[in-house]
Amino acid sequence: MRVLVVEDERVLADAIATGLRREAMAVDVAYDGAAALEKTGYIDYDVIVLDRDLPKVHGDEVARRLVAQRTASRIIMLTASGDVDDKVEGLELGADDYLAKPFVFMELVARVRALGRRSASALPPVLERAGIRLDPGKRLVTRDGGEITLTKKEFAVLEELLRAEGAVVSQEDLLDKAWDENIDPFTNVVRVTMMTLRKKLGEPQVIETVPGVGYKL
């Protein structure tokens, strides 16, 4: 899942990003509204965590523009006010969810995951194919009933392959969804992760390399 955190309080923004990365999400950060609009212009995010009180371009205006552009990204607004009127106003701007500060981090994680599932609305919460079952909510992977322990990046890569439902997923798409914008596009990290993932999934092999194109399951 690719997430954008938009928050002008840098310590808070970086803390949220670090926590979400530990939950196997690919996370970018923008510290003002202008930077957020720039990033959303060339990256398709599954979920945007958007603070309302932003410099340069206010969070409300960011939400308005994203909605006007018919973005598929789901928006969760953060605000220092938990007033009902403020919540209603945020939702009417086009936000899909609303969370008042201070918040419990695991509640934010749960809400981001729920919105991520809605951004891929045609897909079931639990993904299954070729005897492999992946439960994003429980962070659980099994093959033919046996549990498999994966790293967070292996889990994220497998999730993207399962979501593709047999279609080929390019290395660029895997980098886009499982890593963040700081990753070197010429790195071999996808190939290495795929090698360890195949080993853990065992025989017979279910992940196929399509030369010059990508991978499919």
| Across 80-105, average pLDDT | 83
State the pLDDT at residue 119.
66
Residue 36 and residue 30 in contact, taking contact as beta carbons nearer than 8 Å: yes
| Across 110-124, average pLDDT | 74
**Is the pLDDT assigned to residue 100 strictly greater than 70?**
yes
| Across 165-179, average pLDDT | 89
| Across 161-174, average pLDDT | 92
State the pLDDT at residue 112.
94
State the pLDDT at residue 179.
82
Residue with tokens 């010059």: 212
Gap between the terminal Cα atoms of the chain: 18
pTM of the predicted model, to two decimals?
0.68
| Across 84-92, average pLDDT | 78
Q: What percent of the chain has pLDDT over 70?
A: 94
In 3-state terms, what secondary structure has residue 4? Answer: strand
Pairing of strands 208-210, 214-216: antiparallel
What is the per-residue DSSP string for 45-105?
-SEEEEESS-SSS-HHHHHHHHHHTT---EEEEEES---HHHHHHHHHTT-SEEEESS--H
State the pLDDT at residue 122.
45
State the pLDDT at residue 180.
74
Domains of the chain: 2-119 (3.40.50.2300), 127-216 (1.10.10.10)
pLDDT category at 71 given cuts 50, 70, 90 is confident
**Is the pLDDT assigned to residue 124 strictly greater than 60?**
no
